[in-house]
Amino acid sequence: MGRLLSIDYGRKRCGIAVTDSLQIVANGLTTIPTHTIIDFIKKYIATEKVDKIIVGKPTTMRGEDSESMKYITPGINRLRKELPNIPIEFWDERFTSVLAHKSMIDSGMKKTARQDKAIVDEISATIILNDYLQSKSFK
């Protein structure tokens, strides 16, 4: 079994999280510049088996696509074209940034560290992946 990889896709940066090979636990991996996402994932899958990529889908409170999808969709379509053998699935990411900030506060992280948006993006990717894993465990 391969890993699941999640992306918190942003205009400037992407937070990346992965599961263990048994797809039980999600951990933050890194944050990378958005323009390097395809190269990064290609290098990653050259050394680690990835079964699926989960991408955070920003939605409004009504469940409609947010404005951010205008720049996310083209990027993910390029990723699908470059990696045709890896399924890519969107997953609702509502409130992940809020939850990321809360977890940073709860863990005792200092204010200056909490202001680092790269850390927030990585934690958000981990929350997205954990939500996905939890939803699959109930089926």
Does 36 score more than 60 pLDDT?
A: yes
- In whole angstroms, give the CA distance from residue 94 to residue 34: 20
Sequence-ordered alpha helix ranges (H) in the chain: 37-47, 69-82, 96-106, 111-114, 117-137
| Predicted local distance difference test score (pLDDT) of residue 24 | 93
In the chain, % of residues over pLDDT 90: 59
- Domains belonging to the chain, first-starting first, are 3-137 (3.30.420.140)
- For the stretch 76-120, pLDDT in tens is 999 999 999 999 999 987 666 656 656 656 666 666 765 667 777
Q: How far apart are CA 53 and CA 93, in angstroms?
A: 14
DSSP 8-state class, residue 2: -
Sequence-distant (≥ 6) Cβ neighbours of residue 62 within 8 angstroms:
none
Predicted model pTM: 0.85
- Name which residue leads in pLDDT, 122 or 66: 122
